[in-house]
Chain A
Amino acid sequence: MGSENKDHCPAKVDISVAPGGTEPGRACPVYVGTCGYSYTEWVDSGFYPEGTKSTEMLGLYGRCFSVVELNYTWYQMARADALARMVEKAPAHLLFAAKLTRTMTHERADNWQEQLQLYRQGIAPLKKRLVTILIQLPPDFDRSIANRNYLAALLDGLHDLPVAVEFRHGSWAIDPVFAELERRRVTLVAVDEPSLPGLFPSLDVVTNPALFYVRFHGRNQEGWRSGNMQKKFNYDYSDQELRAWCDSYIYPMAARADRGILLFNNHVRAQAPKNGKKLAAILAGLHHGGR
């Protein structure tokens, strides 16, 4: 179904989309990567060579993947100088998704409008390499009127930038929400996570034909609400699970979008890069092995 890239862009697969009606067949490029790249644990786990320093990680990461989600911008406000230095060092093919800072999502500050302006200035050095800004909303962010108004204001503030929204609360999984995102050309993030009550379900809805965005969080039911990241994101996807995801979600979404990004968040013991490489191989039709 897919073919390996020919422009030396690792983990980028062109998924052939079957022609529909009078339209000729086309290819939807999907980029595979992970949520974050700077993990000391990935040295211990062998993804990075022994002795790799933090400054060397992005270059090594770029040898395997075509996109990365910057999650440190969630912990602290994006700073233009730091991002400019990072972009300068990054391999030329690498694309970036940047998480919105927590002061606008999980710990909303009173001055969030000012924060938004700072954020916009902070991510400016990413320029055309920015695939999208990721607004990850907290689990308690339900579809109340106040939250709907806030989200609308936030999206208004980012209207001229590519934006993707990840809901964690199940109440947002309704058609009017998808229709509004579609109207705004905002990407709804498709998630794979444990099947626990109240969580946002896995869907193949495409609200922005320019981009679909998938985040694989792992399916660790016991660890999900433990409050410990090492338990929450400790999961290793099997071949069968990834193949099932390709058939049920990725191919249908690729048929309705111009490009897609697939990111693994199960960073514990470097399972994210391992699964990312595996998924890229499956999509390229190169992987036939078992688990």
Chain B
Amino acid sequence: MSQGFRLRERAVLHFNVADFAVAVERVTDSSLRQRPVIIAPLQAARAVVYDMSEEAYGEGVRKGMPLRQATRICRGAELIAPRVTLYQKAMQAFVKELQGYSPLIECGQADGHFFVDVTGTHRLYGPAPDVGWRVRRQARSSLGINPIWTLGTSKLVSKVASRLVKPVGEYIVTAGDEAIFLDPLPIGLLPGLSDKELLKLQEFRLTTIGALAKLSRQQLMVPFGSRCDYLHAASRGVDDSRGCLPTTDTESIDYEHSFADDTNDQRQVEGVVSTLVSRAGFQLRAQQQVTRRVGIWLRYSDGGHVVRQASCKVGTAGDILLHKLALTALQRAWIRRTRIRSCRLVCDRLQRQSPQLSLFPEPEKRQLQQKKVTGAMDTLRRRFGHQVIGVGRQYPMHIPADDSGESPIH
């Protein structure tokens, strides 16, 4: 007799720390509480808002808004430079709390969002609502932050519930009630919809999720094409996606730099590329990986962007070859006279560094020396931070003591 297996009803908790960066800053400085706070790079001439407090949000400040405009709207706001490393540390601390309840945790990049799949953990840790409540209590007492927690049978349902109770609260969507729960909610609460799709839904006067759920897959196929499957399932609360677990072996290494002012100064752009290369190379060596392709993304001031790559047959983690590849890719990408707003470097096709020794004669003395210098620089960077040392061609950027000017994206 075949022993079939039954799929359990899933229990997915979503924790969301509203305005995560502000919440972390408020833990470090209690005088920021109850005051409007805007977090944005302060030195940059055309800085945009990185995060803002609920008070500033109430005044009309939004993420990505030019800082000048934000400060005009919310004059009394406290301005703080972003400390991404600090936010990432806070994320790690929260994840550590969560690891006590489930190994299946998905979290974003310093954004205060965590999905925890607690399906099947009830025998160890009790019912899922109790886990949600306990994690929140622990986060409040040990980290000083107060996350929203919601419970649903999928990431989609728990995420929508979070959006409903933001900025504080909790919400339990009972299994089986997903469609009833979603039915009256505004369609904008459904995650994963693009602006174009929202606009199209608006044109069709589909304002609630329930209205969308009434349409068949065939009806949705006409205006939305291949997206009809997602819309059809999501509007009914069906989401079988699993949490994306963080892996140590990342699929790509990715760094970006936004120029304070748009530029077409070759020296400045190449300097930035060199800095990004040194960071990517450092990370590759730390992960004992090599890359076989380097890509450069140039975003121009008019919003357009160009992507070009350069690759090599044998993977590398050395700054010299990485730099050559990056400059080749830059040359290929820099095809317009428009000024550049940001530059992104992506190393992909990653492989583990081979422990196999070379069959052929040892590399030249010069190469050995370069390897030694890179090793010494890495040691210094590990101990004192990346900005402590660099090569002459790198672009000198103002880097806060505990943070980097570039944002890793991977």
- The answer to whether B133 and A75 touch across the interface, beta carbons within 8 angstroms, is yes
A119 to chain B, nearest CB (A): 14
Enumerate chain A residues within 8 angstroms of B123, measured Cβ to Cβ: 41, 44, 230
Say yes or no for B60: interface residue by CB 8 A criterion: no
Instruction: Check B174 against A54 for contact (C-beta < 8 Å).
Output: yes
CB distance from B188 to the nearest CB of A (A): 21
Query: For window 3-44 of chain A, which residues contact chain B by CB distance below 8 Å?
Result: 36, 38-41, 44
Q: How far is the CA of A230 from the CA of B172 in the complex (A)?
A: 21
Give CA–CA (A48, B170) in the complex, Å. 28
Are B124 and A53 interface neighbours, CB within 8 A? no
Residues on B with C-beta less than 8 A from A230 are 123-126
- Quick one: given A229-B130, A230-B123, are A40 and B9 in contact (CB under 8 Å)? yes
Closest to B176 in A: A55
Is A85's beta carbon under 8 Å from chain B?
Answer: yes
Q: Which residues of B contact A55 (CB under 8 A)?
A: 174-177
The yes or no answer to A50 lying at the interface (CB within 8 A) is yes
Q: How far is the CA of A51 from the CA of B6 in the complex (A)?
A: 7
Residues A54 and B175 in contact, CB atoms below 8 Å apart: yes
Q: How far is the CA of A50 from the CA of B4 in the complex (A)?
A: 12
Residues from chain A with a CB closer than 8 A to the CB of B129 are: 72, 75-76
Instruction: Indicate whether A82 reaches chain B with its CB closer than 8 angstroms.
Output: yes
Chain B, residues 146-162, CB within 8 Å of chain A (1/0): the string is 00000000000000000
Q: Please judge, given known A-B contacts A51-B6, A55-B176, A75-B133, whether A39 and B122 are in contact too, CB under 8 Å.
A: yes
> Is residue A144 contacting chain B, with contact meaning CB distance below 8 A?
no
Interface residue B132 (Cβ < 8 Å from any Cβ of A): yes
Tell me, in angstroms, the Cα distance from A39 to B129 when the chains sit together. 11
CB interface residues, A 200-229, toward B, < 8 Å: 227-229
B64 is an interface residue with CB less than 8 A from chain A: no
Say yes or no: A39 contacts B171, CB within 8 Å. Answer: no
Report the nearest A residue to B129, measured CB to CB.
A75
Q: Which residues of B contact A227 (CB under 8 A)?
A: 134
Distance between Cα atoms of A102 and B129 in the complex (Å): 13
**Contact status B172-A72, CB under 8 Å:** yes
The reply to whether A75 and B172 form a contact with Cβ atoms under 8 Å apart is: yes
Q: How close is A152's CB to chain B, nearest CB, in angstroms?
A: 27
Write out the residue numbers on chain A whose beta carbons fall within 8 Å of the beta carbon of B127. Answer: 36, 38-41, 229
* CB proximity to A under 8 Å, residues B83-129: 120, 122-127, 129
Judge if B8 is at the interface, Cβ distance under 8 Å: yes
Give 1 or 0 for each of A61-74: 1 = CB within 8 Å of chain B CB.
00000000000100
Chain A interface size band reads 20 to 34
Closest to A52 in B: B9
B180 contacts the other chain (CB 8 A) = yes
B120 contacts which chain A residues (CB < 8 A)? Answer: 40
Tell me the smallest distance from the CB of B116 to a CB of chain A, in Å: 16
Q: Which residue of A lies closest to B171 (CB)?
A: A76
Find residues 208-255 in chain A having any chain B CB closer than 8 Å to their own CB: 227-230
Closest to B136 in A: A107
* B8 near A85: Cβ-Cβ < 8 Å: no
Q: Do B177 and A82 have beta carbons less than 8 Å apart?
A: yes
Shortest Cβ distance from residue B6 to the other chain A in the assembled complex, whole angstroms:
5
Q: Are A75 and B130 in contact (CB under 8 A)?
A: yes
> For residue A39, which residues in chain B have a CB less than 8 angstroms away from its CB?
122, 127
Whole-angstrom CA separation of A158 from B6 in the bound complex: 45
Whether B126 lies near A228 (C-beta < 8 A) is yes
Asked whether A41 and B122 contact (CB < 8 A) given A53-B9, A75-B129, the answer is yes
Option from A36, A75, A229 in Cβ contact (under 8 Å) with B170: A75
C-alpha gap A39/B123 in the complex (Å): 10
Q: In the assembly, what is the distance between CA of A135 and CA of B399, in Å?
A: 55
Bound-state Cα–Cα, A283 to B49, Å: 68
Please name all residues of chain B whose beta carbon is closer than 8 Å to the beta carbon of A54 when the two chains form the complex: 9, 174-176
Is A40 a contact of B177 with CB atoms below 8 Å? no
Residue contact B177 to A50, C-beta cutoff 8 Å? no
Give the complex CA separation of A276 and B124 in angstroms: 23
Which 10 A-B pairs have CB atoms at the shortest separation, nearest pair first? A55-B176, A229-B126, A54-B175, A75-B129, A40-B122, A41-B122, A76-B170, A230-B126, A51-B6, A76-B172
Please give 17 more A-B residue pairs, beta carbons under 8 A apart, in addition to A50-B6, A51-B6.
A36-B127, A38-B174, A39-B127, A40-B11, A40-B127, A41-B122, A53-B175, A53-B176, A75-B129, A75-B130, A75-B132, A76-B170, A76-B171, A76-B172, A228-B125, A229-B125, A229-B127
